[in-house]
Structure 1
Amino acid sequence: MTDWHSMDTDQAVDQAWAKLEEEKEKLAELGKHWDEASTTIRAKDQSLEMTFDGRGELTELTFNPSKYREMPPAQLASVIIETLRKGRAESQQKMSELMGTPAIPGLDLDGLISGKVRPDEMINSMMGPMLETLSGFGLDIEPPKPANQKREAREHG
């Protein structure tokens, strides 16, 4: 349990606010990146080229006419999928580098960007320490249920 009497609350609030501002600046840069950045990837065999926006979404696909026409359909499909994965991974890497290491515990930006972490789960993991702190003050607040659990409760209850 935290010793609340020896804690400098002004300093703790200032530190928390500074972390929040730091993350806010990173998110502003990420928004700018989403609006302005692009990544272009060429297939290993030079048969096609893909361009992705700042979010890693495919925006352009260009085929090399002399190459792709000679390819069997299964091989072309494989090249398309491989190049798509490579382009998305490179786009996600750029976003991760831009965001750096989060200053706020529980903020998994890489997981959020890649789609491996659900936003509601991330929020709950970030709220956990705050709820524990409030519990230390004698306030027992139940964490919010994820949206899909609320829906299930309405459907079954």
Structure 2
Amino acid sequence: MRAEWQAHIDELLKEYRDKRAQLRELQERLATAEATATAADGMVTVTVGSQGQIKNVEFDPRVYRRLSPTELADAVMEAAENAASQVRQEVQDAVNPLAPPDLEGFDLGKILGAPPRDFEETRERYGFRPQE
């Protein structure tokens, strides 16, 4: 009987170590997750991190001649929201395999909150108001 228990304990210990390694890998993946999106015909590029923070914004030099300040702000917000949506999906895809099987339909968005519905809500939520 002792050998059976030892085999069971060894199996549980292996499962624990495997899950711990998977969680460590998930933590690293979530810490480095980011997505990049463009708007305004590629003239605005925004990179967003795993928690929705803007990590980088790039403008094509032509953007200043082609877009008004309001249009530029809208393009930045559009690219940021698209990148945030992509990174949310990447995070969801990374978390899903480790979610317990009884959490079918697990939605990370319910935990992190829904993304803004549109540019106006994004501006209000984050207090962003462009000057014209």
Asked if these proteins are the same fold (TM beyond 0.5), I'd say: yes
Give the Cα separation in 2 of the matches to 1:81 and 1:70. 17
What does 1:17-32 correspond to in 2, within 5 Å? 22=19, 27-32=23-28
Could you tell me how far 1:113 is from its partner in structure 2? 5.7
Q: Residue deviations 1:73-130, cap 9 Å, x none?
A: 22112111111110100000001111115216469451356324xxxxxxxxxxxxxx
Q: Percent identity?
A: 21
User: Is the 8 Å Cα contact of residues 45 and 76 (structure 2) preserved in structure 1?
Assistant: no
Q: Does 1:103 align with 2:88?
A: no
Would the alpha carbon gap of residues 85 and 59 (structure 1) be closer, same or farther in structure 2, given more than 3 Å must change? same
Q: TM-score, normalised by structure 2?
A: 0.58
Could you tell me how far 1:47 is from its partner in structure 2? 1.6
User: Is the 8 Å Cα contact of residues 33 and 91 (structure 2) preserved in structure 1?
Assistant: no
User: Is the 8 Å Cα contact of residues 63 and 72 (structure 2) preserved in structure 1?
Assistant: no
Q: Does 1:81 align with 2:58?
A: no
Moved more, 25-34 or 67-76: 25-34
> Which consecutive unaligned segments of at least 5 residues does structure 2 have?
1-7, 115-132
Matched letter for residue 112 of structure 2: S
Give the Cα separation in 1 of the matches to 2:111 and 2:62. 36
1:115 counterpart residue number: 113
Task: Give RMSD over aligned pairs.
Answer: 3.1
Would the alpha carbon gap of residues 56 and 30 (structure 1) be closer, same or farther in structure 2, given more than 3 Å must change? farther
1:63 counterpart residue number: 59
Q: Secondary structure at the match of 1:69?
A: helix
Matched pairs, number = 100
Give the Cα separation in 2 of the matches to 1:75 and 1:85. 15
1:41 counterpart residue number: 37
Q: Which has the larger Rg? A: 1
Q: TM-score, normalised by structure 1?
A: 0.50
Give the Cα separation in 1 of the matches to 2:111 and 2:59. 28
User: Is the 8 Å Cα contact of residues 47 and 80 (structure 2) preserved in structure 1?
Assistant: no
Q: Secondary structure at the match of 1:52?
A: strand
